Amino acid sequence: MKTRRKPARATKAVDIHAHFFPQSYLDVVGAEGKRFGAEYSVTAAGFTMKSPLGVNAAPVGITDLKTRIAGMDKQGVAVQALSLTAPMAYWADADVNARLARAWNDGASAAHRQYPDRLVGLITLPMLDTGRALDELQRAAALPGMRGVYLGTNVAGRDLDDPLFAPVFARIEALGLPVFLHPIQTVGGARTKPFYLGNLLGNPYDTGIAACHLVFGGVMDRHPKLQINLPHAGGTFPFLIGRIDRGWKMRPETRHLPDAPSRYLRRFTYDTIGHSKKVLQYLVAEVGADRVMLGSDYCYDMGYERPVRIVEELGLKPRDRAMIIGGTAARMLKL
């Protein structure tokens, strides 16, 4: 008698790039923001926040959890890893930076407690004060649902290999938490203000710069267990790696690196927000399917309305597709 094979269990889709403004964070903006030039509004039409770093506008799903869960269901996403976005927590003085970070972490943990099977959080830190950043990291890491750390590609213009941040990276590594980057205060200045180039080009450029500072600045070598995710399909880093390798061979400024920069490609993970089938196919071929994870950029217009469908269209083997859709993220975030 033949035994009936059990049907394969479908992989739960895990979105690692999904933004959120909890009310706890917005309360700090409302109380303290005006003296720094920051304010926000939430209406039925959407969310707007003005800060010294510019204007951030988004649909109401950025703040409303019921709208978010309905949107996830429509997308076919089972779990989101919630993260802050611009202006993050680096735009005021040290006291307010710390309050913003604490408020966001508390709000993200509260969202997890409300939807424990659907939402987890990525810790935000007041990075310009090392002592406060370490204290908040230790506190927030113990909150329910907090599964990683969220950093800018630079922090108020300081690159991530700045010695100021070294103790924080050491503690993150010791805690075994993955790090997720996001562009902020991107390169280009006034030249990228027209045509939305600050996002279209500035975001991927800044991610590439951050990756190179982490590699050439020795952060990845000093912390061999540190896991760092590069957003927007890695920005420019994986796609200019040949040129970066050439520089390592030819230029004295880079020869201190013990291995070619391309040897570090698999030290990073990447999301799927590349908006090109060929780009994503190249990325998977270059770094491996186990280093790429689903991202939507929820709930912005530069993200994906159907993030799972994008992966399904790549023509991957079932095992590779399953890793990208949710397998690798579930492992990293300890879901």
* DSSP states along 37-71: T-EEEEETTEEEEEETTEEEEE-GGGT-HHHHHHH
- DSSP state, residue 179: E
In contact, 147 and 115? CB cutoff 8 Å: no
For residue 196, what are its two tokens?
């939305």
Helix, strand, coil percentages (3-state) for the chain, rounded to 5, are 45, 15, 35
Contact between residue 248 and residue 254 where contact means Cβ atoms under 8 Å apart: yes
Q: What is the pTM of this model?
A: 0.94
Write down the pLDDT at residue 9.
Answer: 59
> Whole-angstrom Cα distance, residue 332 to residue 288?
16
Helix ranges (DSSP H) in the chain: 23-32, 65-75, 94-114, 130-141, 166-175, 197-200, 202-216, 219-222, 241-250, 277-287, 307-312, 318-322, 328-332
Helices and strands (H and E) in the chain: how many: 13, 13
Handedness of CA 318, 320, 321, 326 (dihedral sign): positive
How many other C-beta atoms lie within 10 A of the C-beta of residue 93?
A: 13
Query: Residue type at 15?
Result: D
User: In the structure encoding, which two tokens stand for residue 154, read together?
Assistant: 């630079």
- Cα separation, 200 vs 193, whole angstroms: 10
Packing angle, helices 94-114 and 23-32, rounded to 10? 160
CA–CA separation, 136 and 267 (whole Å): 26
pLDDT tens for the chain, 335 residues long, are 444 544 445 689 999 999 999 999 999 999 999 999 999 999 988 999 999 988 999 999 999 999 999 999 999 999 999 999 999 998 999 999 999 999 999 999 999 999 999 999 999 999 999 999 999 999 999 999 999 999 999 999 999 999 999 999 999 999 999 999 999 999 998 999 999 999 999 999 999 999 999 999 999 999 999 999 999 999 999 999 999 999 999 999 999 999 999 999 999 999 999 999 999 999 999 999 999 999 999 999 999 999 999 999 999 999 999 999 999 999 999 99
Dist CA 171 CA 177 (whole Å)? 9
Q: What is the pLDDT of residue 189?
A: 86
β-strand pairing of 146-152 with 154-155: unpaired
Residues 6+ apart with CB under 8 A from 252: none
Q: What is the CATH number of domain 14-332?
A: 3.20.20.140
**Looking at residue 4, what is its pLDDT?**
53
For residues 320 and 272, what is the distance between their CA atoms, to the nearest angstrom? 13
- Preceding omega of 87 cis (within 30 degrees of 0): yes
